[in-house]
């Protein structure tokens, strides 16, 4: 059995190899809507809402504003448009933020804001 920490994210990335795309989507939603916002509230991070974590993760997996790569107003939400590899990348970023904490969150948020032209170099 794979080790799972107290916030529900796997400590063993190899578990994704046997996960269906639906399971990966559920893990992504849990991480961005539950785990990371809870940690943000507990630790007073610069971002704390689910949609903020989703923006940060999606922008960083594309190294660009996510809606330049996915349909923003399509019939499916952005996370449902991600490929398996993109979902794994997204989960790895979530795990990085969970493990490294505020410093990693701030780094990835700054990158996202730069992609959006809301933060100068």
Q: What residue segments make up the domains of the chain, in order of their start?
A: 20-115
Structure confidence at residue 6 (pLDDT): 38
Both tokens assigned to 66 = 């996510």
Q: What is the pTM of this model?
A: 0.86
Average pLDDT for consecutive 10-residue bins of the chain (121 residues)?
A: 38 75 98 98 97 98 97 91 97 97 98 92 61
Structure confidence at residue 54 (pLDDT): 98
Cβ–Cβ < 8 Å for 106, 46: yes
Structure confidence at residue 119 (pLDDT): 83
pLDDT single digits (tens) 13-40: 576 999 999 999 999 999 999 999 999 9
Judged on CB neighbours under 10 Å (0-12, 13-18, 19+), 66 is buried
CA distance 17 to 55: 25
């Amino acid at each position: 059995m794979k080790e799972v920490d107290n916030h529900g994210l796997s400590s063993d990335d190899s578990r994704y190899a046997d996960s269906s795309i639906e399971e990966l989507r559920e893990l992504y939603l849990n991480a961005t809507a539950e785990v990371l916002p809870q940690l943000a509230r507990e630790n007073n991070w610069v971002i704390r809402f689910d949609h903020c974590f989703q923006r940060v993760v999606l922008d960083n997996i594309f190294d660009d504003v996510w809606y330049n790569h996915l349909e923003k107003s399509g019939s499916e939400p952005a996370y449902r448009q991600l490929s398996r590899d993109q979902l794994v990348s997204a989960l790895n970023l979530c795990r990085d933020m969970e493990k490294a904490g505020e410093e990693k969150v701030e780094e990835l948020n700054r990158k996202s804001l730069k992609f959006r032209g809301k933060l100068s170099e």
